[in-house]
Structure 1
Amino acid sequence: MEDKKTYASPESYAMNGGKGPYSYAQNSIYQRLLKPEAAKEKINKAIADHFDIKTLSASLNLVYVADLGCSTGPNTFISVQNIIEAIKLQYISKGVHTEIPEFMVFFNDHVSNDFNTLFKSFPPNKQYIAAGVPGSFHGRLFPKESLHFIHSSFALQWLSKAPIEVMDEGSPAWNKGRIFYTNAQKEVVEAYATQFAKDIDSFLFARAQELVVGGLLALFIPAIPDVMSNSDTFIGTELDLLGSCLMDMAKVVSLQ
């Protein structure tokens, strides 16, 4: 019997598209401030230590790079450029600059992502061939052993879906309609943690199949120390306030 591969399309909630005042492109400065220098340093070191061009250069004419969770803003272009420059530097430092390959970059996000704005925003001097790959990165997106470098930044903290338990009024983990788990009871926190563990497992399993032998995976995920409470963080307070506003708005609508 034929083994038919399926690539599921989970719920799709992309960032706001376009370039208007409420778009992700105009409201992603926080990510941009944290990513470039720290991320560039770590990517440079990973490529210098582990990207074996002596083995690959003889047969590698095209390097395949994927940015997962690219959205629409300029941040993805900065990350991709850092990766490409680091790989080129490897070739130059090893004295094989004449063998520098071409680059194919896949920009991935949900099917509802504004890829039109993304494509219109490409840097005019980009040094790679580009393609969009719509779909959830919590499942397979690419053929087996096809990618040399996979990058994802400020994206994996988003769950593939809300835990069913937190929306069930009969469940101990019911979150009373709130959008976050700040100051919630432990059952709510555990439900979110369990969903996150499932998502990470699916993500890593898919990437393990898609990377070539010796390929590199760079993940940048916002986190807080274990000793801190979510209610002590800026993002926790911010989401609590946002959630409270949304619940007040819903009550007003229901009364009309």
Structure 2
Amino acid sequence: MAAEETKVLQEAYPMKGGDGLYSYAKNSTYQRKATGYAKELIKAAIAGKLDKEILLSSKTFRIADLGCSVGPNTFSAVQNILEAVESKYQYYCQELNPQIPDFQVFFNDHTSNDFNLLFTSLPNDRGYYAAGVPGSFYGRLFPENSIHFVHSSYAIQWLSGVPKELVNKNSPAWNKGRIHYSSSGDEVVMAYKAQFDKDMEQFLQARAQEIVCGGLMVLIFPGIPNGTHHSQNQPSINFEILGSCLMDLARKGMISEEKVDSFNIPTYNMSPQELEAAVERNGCFSIEGKENLPLSVQSDSGDQNISGQFVESHLRAVVEGIIKQHFGEKILDVLFDCYRRKLHENFSIFESGKMGSFFFLLKRRAAN
């Protein structure tokens, strides 16, 4: 039965592997900033919300990072968690002088993730046993009641797949000429929203079975502030610019328009309110904390040209793989050259968009 539960077939959208110019390893500083801002929040969460009984009863403390990609961000996040757990353990148990438990860390991502780079990059001085767990986090990954702390950063905005209605010519949600819901009609937005609701239900149900009673889960994700229209957020503007470049290439005959019509970016930028509603529907977790993370896509210098290059390289590291899979490799340089020019021309519009990065702390409730 357990083996069957893990056989959830999902589409894979790995970040660009390797350590080249446009690799995720070299173009994920924005995500790294989120990890840095969350460090103190995680420390406070473990100090105040992790049950003492879990520490005293666990000979091995198990941590899972879902959507780990290739590093180094995942290693920083894991180290933050480990240090916070060690600190709390020492605080509670200093008089008893027990041995701190072993730590086991599970790095999870799709099977097509560059696990070779991940493992060759593991810190030599790590204080934990490392293991890779390939597979979609929209299905079961671990045995029941086996994980004490789950961390996932900049991953749950990815859907398990493109809503099927978007590529059905007979559907009101057919997303002709567009690659996202940014400038699309309500039917397209509703299809994305429905896919998000379904995926989040599966995600929370799987984690509810895997996390021990009293265990914690931290979710860090890019999204939009409550009440913000989807067309006003920066990722949507980003994808609208990229989509217009694909249509330019279609008009030049480099790709077919039908290819563009059948391509959609499978991400949904949720609001905190939408995640709260999903957690409430699931009923297995309590929300113990939530924060807005003060992140910006601006470069440190604030220079527009540098910021445009920063945005372009980060976007390419994230979406190059799915574009290559759908359109082939030949168009990549031309496509992103077009994107960079258009971004420069429309940077004020891009800057005017709203975007948030959010931190949620969930705790596994006692089973009924």
TM-score, structure 1 as length reference: 0.93
Tell me if 1:125 matches 2:125. Answer: yes
Gaps of 5+ in 1: none
Counterpart in the other structure of 1:45: 44
Tell me the secondary structure at the aligned position of residue 221 of structure 1: strand
Counterpart in the other structure of 1:225: 225
Letter in structure 2 aligned against 1:253: M
1:47-106 Cα offsets, whole Å, 9 max, x none, are 1122123x2344311101000000012110111011101101101222436431110000
Letter in structure 2 aligned against 1:161: G
Q: Find 1:88's aligned residue among 86, 106, 109.
A: 86
Q: Distance in 2 between matches of 1:50 and 1:99?
A: 22
Q: Confirm or deny: 8 A CA contact 1:107 1:130 kept in the other structure.
A: yes
Query: Aligned ranges for residues 157-236 of structure 1 at < 5 Å?
Result: 157-236=157-236
> How many residue pairs get matched?
252
Q: Distance in 1 between matches of 2:155 and 2:3?
A: 29
Counterpart in the other structure of 1:253: 254
Q: Distance in 2 between matches of 1:72 and 1:58?
A: 33
TM-score, structure 2 as length reference: 0.65
Q: Confirm or deny: 8 A CA contact 1:28 1:73 kept in the other structure.
A: no
* Further displaced range: 121-130 or 203-212: 121-130
Q: Distance in 1 between matches of 2:162 and 2:134?
A: 21
Q: Confirm or deny: 8 A CA contact 2:103 2:129 kept in the other structure.
A: yes
Tell me the secondary structure at the aligned position of residue 70 of structure 1: coil
Aligned Cα RMSD in Å?
1.7
Counterpart in the other structure of 2:63: 65
Instruction: Report deviation, 1:24.
Output: 0.8
Q: Distance in 1 between matches of 2:33 and 2:212?
A: 31
Instruction: Report deviation, 1:4.
Output: 6.5
Gaps of 5+ in 2: 257-368
* Further displaced range: 237-246 or 221-230: 221-230
Question: Residues 110, 177 of structure 1: CA spacing in aligned structure 2 closer, same or farther, 3 A cutoff?
Answer: farther
Instruction: Report deviation, 1:154.
Output: 0.6
Q: Distance in 2 between matches of 1:95 and 1:148?
A: 18
Tell me the secondary structure at the aligned position of residue 33 of structure 2: helix
Q: Confirm or deny: 8 A CA contact 2:5 2:139 kept in the other structure.
A: no
Q: Confirm or deny: 8 A CA contact 2:60 2:101 kept in the other structure.
A: yes
Q: Confirm or deny: 8 A CA contact 1:147 1:210 kept in the other structure.
A: yes
Letter in structure 2 aligned against 1:233: N
